[in-house]
Every structure is written in C-alpha cells, then in structure tokens.
Structure 1
Amino acid sequence: MIEIDRLSPPDSIAYLDRVAASDSGRTYKRQMLGMLDLHPGQTVLDIGCGPGTDLADLAAGVTQTGSVIGVDHSPVMAERARVRLAGQPIVDIRIGDAHSLPIDDHSVDRARTDRVLQHVADPSQVLAEFRRVARPGARIVMAEPDWDTLLIDHDDLAMNRGLNRFIVTEVVRNATIGRSLARLSAQAGLIVRSVVTTAPVFRDFEMADQLLGLRRNIVRAVEAGYLDGDAERWIEEMGAMPFLAGVMVFLVVAEAPE
C-alpha cells in the first residue's frame, strides 16, 4: 500500500526548483536559453515566471543595458521572484494573466514560456498576446511536454497506457500541447523557425516519482477507474528493480512577422 504522505501534491515552489536543479531540467533550460539568442539591450519577457527560476539567466543575456519582465498570475510566486531577484535592478516582476499580459504593445524583443501552456485555459490566446506585445521580428521560445508519450519500462504495457490515459484526460488541462505548439503558433500568425524534441530519461525511481508524480497519479487513476488495484503493486515494483522512464518535451521557436 502506498503511504499517505507520498500522495500529497508537492509544494509548487519546491517542485519548480527541483525540476530546474535536475539534470534533465538544466539540459533543456540551457537549450531554451541558447534558442532565445539574447543580446545586450533587449527586452525579454518570461510568461509564467514562477518563483523567478530563470530570470537571472535572462538578465545576464541582455546585460544591464536591457530589461527583463517576469509575469505570473500567482502573487505568492511573484513575491518569491521579487525576493530572489532583489539585486537585479533590470528585472521587473508583474502579477498578471498570460491571456491578458500587463505589457505594452510592441515592446518585447524576446519571450519564453516554460511548461505553462499545458495549464492555461486558452493557449491560442496566450500566443496572440505574445504577438501583440512583440516587436517586429521578436522571438518566443516555448517548452511543453506531451504527456501521452510518458514511457515506463515494464512488461505490463497496459498499466503504462492506463496511467497515460488518466493523466491526459483528468490531470493536465492541455496534456498534448507539445505536439500542437507549431500549429498553434502558425495559426496565431507567428513564423515557426524550428521544432525540436528532447526526451528526459529518469533512471532513479524516487527522482522520477518526485518530478512525475507517479505514486500520486497511480492512486488517483485507480480511484477514477482508469486502472485496477494491481496498479499500486505495479508502481511499487518499480522501486525494487532497474528503472527507466521518459517523456517527450517539444521546444519550439517562433517569431513575429517583420
């Protein structure tokens, strides 16, 4: 039986910090930073900046001659970001909705959004907002998972498929947004410059459980009828054998028309 204290949702700030500190997190965030192609003097926007995890790297890229704007809907996240970036005078943290950014028209050179569009009510509206605030030729870099690609190595493939059906249907609002980013960007009038994928691989079960919520989602999937009671035994077996899991993340670069 899975212990009750393992089923509670993680603290949001601690979870985001844990992802950023993981090997896979550092890898794809470095990719995103390179894709942004930051230059001194630019204005760069982080849509859904959370506790400010990536703002210092953005500030370093545009130097003291540029500016960084972080927007998050959560006052708690915004306040944590302000505390963390207190020594960065070029960083401005704003509370706001990604669907209606508190940003002037045509004022941004670069933007990023990292695992945010999977949760918003209307990803297309967020992309339309980027186009509104973008200067001609401005670039946005987006990273989003596709949860239907979650793979767990085990002979019982039906358990993996049942878990994926639960996550895609019940847990994540836009669970397959990764595969849709290029299409949605084009429909928003943006020019898609590149689409690449990265697939973080987890070989440590406890780390995968922390970042993917395996135990918690297995219990919820059983309660919702997507899996039978053997699923709890199945996931606990994972911790007692060589483990491997992975999920595909799409990285998309798009630009506003000149």
Structure 2
Amino acid sequence: MPTHLGAPRPDQAAYMLRAAATDAGRAYKQQLLDLLDVGAGQTALDVGCGPGTDLGALAERVGRDGTVIGVDRDRAMLAEARRRTTGLPAVEVREGDAHALPVEPGSVDRARIDRVLMHVADPAAVLAQLHRVTRPGALLALAEPDWDTLVVDADDLETSRAFTRYTASVAVRNATIGRRLARHAERAGFTVLTVLATTPVFRDFPAADHTLGLGRNTEKAIAAGHIDEEHGRRWFASLAEGPFLASFSLFTVLCSR
C-alpha cells in the first residue's frame, strides 16, 4: 500500500483559484454576485478576498466611480491579489483581520464573505464587524458549506461516514456554519432576504481529491485514530478506482442592513 494518500497539500492561493475555476465554483460565485446586485459608483467589500479571485468582477460592476475593498490577513494572498488587480484603480487591497475590519463604519454598500466563516475563530464577531461597516440599506451575501452533509459514495459506507464525521468534527473549525448563516446574520442585526442551498456534485476523482482533501484528510483521520488504517487505505483506493461520486450542501444567504 502507498505511504501517502492522494494529492499533496496544495499551495493555498493555487487551491482557491483552481476551486473557483471549476464548473461548480463558477456557478455559485456568479449566483452570489447576481444576488449582491452591485451597482456603478458603489463601495463593495470582499472579506477574506484571498488571491483576489472575485475582485475583478466586483470592480467591473462598481465602474470607474466605485470602490472595491479586498481584506485578507495572509500576506502571500494579499501579494497575489494586488498582482491580479494591477491596472484596476477601483480596487484597494488591505491587510486586516475579519474580526477587526480596516474599514470605516457605515461606508460599504455591498459586502460578501465566501467560505471564510468556516475558518474564523468567531463567526458572530465577524458578522458584527460587517454590520458595523455597512450602511443602512446595504446588502450582504454569504456563502458557506455545511460539511456535516458531505457524502462520498463507496461500498464501505461506514468508512465514508467516518470520513465525514472526521471532516465535520476535527478537520474544519466551523464545519456546520452553512446551516447557521441565517441565524447568525439575524442575530447580528441583518434582515435575511434569501436562503439558497446548492449541492455541488463531483464525478471526477482527482478533482474531488484536490478540492475535498480526500487523501490527506484520510491520512490525518487514520493518524488521529478516527479511521482504521487498513479500512481507510482500502476505502481511498476504491474511490480512485471509480466510478466516483461525492457531494455536499453549500448555503448562500442574502441579507440587508
């Protein structure tokens, strides 16, 4: 049996860009942008902008008289975001933490946060920050997965279930934030306008291994005693042999300030 399972841990910026370029990634990002209804001359905020994947699309919507602010705390991400938005004068990339946004109170017309709350220390505090920086009538769009809904088809159903339990209880900090978005947003003072759920489906095993971390998280689950090593390695090998299918639920919430 192989020593290592699956694809190695990818560079974070490359991972985010590749995930955004998939059919499922493009579809939900377009849905998020359409819901946000960004207009010319507005100020739009992207919290946890990463390598700047979505800053160009926002800049196109706000036009020459608008402003797009991208905030991230990772300097490598910030460098890539600045490189990708060179020549877009509407875009400002700022270093900062989502729990203490470097943005003036009541200055933002449109804000988005995409697959960031599942990683932060305190999602409620981040939403409170978003409430602080948005002006009355502003729109906020949120998108987060619910990893408790992850399903991986395999003959060994128990190991598939064990993998999901490990992902939802250990691998991801706020694994069920997707289902809690609307509740958290209302508690932060926003009015929830729309709640949508989509189910990305993966049929290509290498793409799923890259995006879902099937191999590397199986190794971690084995090392932590959540999955028996023999069962885990056989399970992963069976996924690679195919046919393959995996999916999870992604929640999108649109709110008004």
TM-score range, shorter chain: over 0.9
The answer for the alignment partner of 1:33 in structure 2 is 33
| TM-score of the superposed pair, with normalisation by structure 2 | 0.97
Residue 197 of structure 1 aligns to a residue whose secondary structure is strand
Tell me if structure 1 keeps the 8 A contact 2:7–2:210.
no
The answer for the alignment partner of 2:121 in structure 1 is 121
Tell me if structure 2 keeps the 8 A contact 1:66–1:90.
yes
Give the distance between the partners of 1:64 and 1:126, measured in 2 at CA. Answer: 29
| Deviation of 1:3 (Å) | 4.7
* Aligned residue type for 2:40: P
Residue 241 of structure 2 aligns to a residue whose secondary structure is coil
Structure 1 unaligned spans of 5+: none
Does 1:240 find its partner at 2:237? no
Structure 2 unaligned spans of 5+: none
Provide, for residues 183-239 of structure 1, a one-character-per-residue CA deviation record: whole Å limited to 9, x for no partner: 000111110011101111000001100100001111111111111121111111111
The answer for the alignment partner of 1:70 in structure 2 is 70
Tell me if structure 2 keeps the 8 A contact 1:2–1:215.
no
Provide, for residues 9-45 of structure 1, a one-character-per-residue CA deviation record: whole Å limited to 9, x for no partner: 2110110011011111011101101011011010000
| TM-score of the superposed pair, with normalisation by structure 1 | 0.97
C-alpha change, 1:2 and 1:33, in structure 2 (3 Å) is farther
Give the distance between the partners of 1:66 and 1:176, measured in 2 at CA. Answer: 35
Give the distance between the partners of 2:169 and 2:249, measured in 1 at CA. Answer: 18
Give the distance between the partners of 2:3 and 2:88, measured in 1 at CA. Answer: 43
Tell me if structure 2 keeps the 8 A contact 1:73–1:97.
yes
Tell me if structure 2 keeps the 8 A contact 1:178–1:249.
yes
Residue 155 of structure 1 aligns to a residue whose secondary structure is coil
Provide, for residues 99-158 of structure 1, a one-character-per-residue CA deviation record: whole Å limited to 9, x for no partner: 000000100000001100000000001100011000101111011000011111123221
* Aligned residue type for 1:71: V
Query: Percent of counterpart pairs with the same letter?
Result: 52
The alignment yields a C-alpha RMSD, in angstroms, of 1.1
* Aligned residue type for 1:25: G
| Deviation of 1:7 (Å) | 5.8
* Aligned residue type for 1:235: F
Residue 4 of structure 1 aligns to a residue whose secondary structure is coil
Give the distance between the partners of 1:5 and 1:144, measured in 2 at CA. Answer: 27
The answer for the alignment partner of 1:48 in structure 2 is 48
Give the distance between the partners of 2:238 and 2:78, measured in 1 at CA. Answer: 40
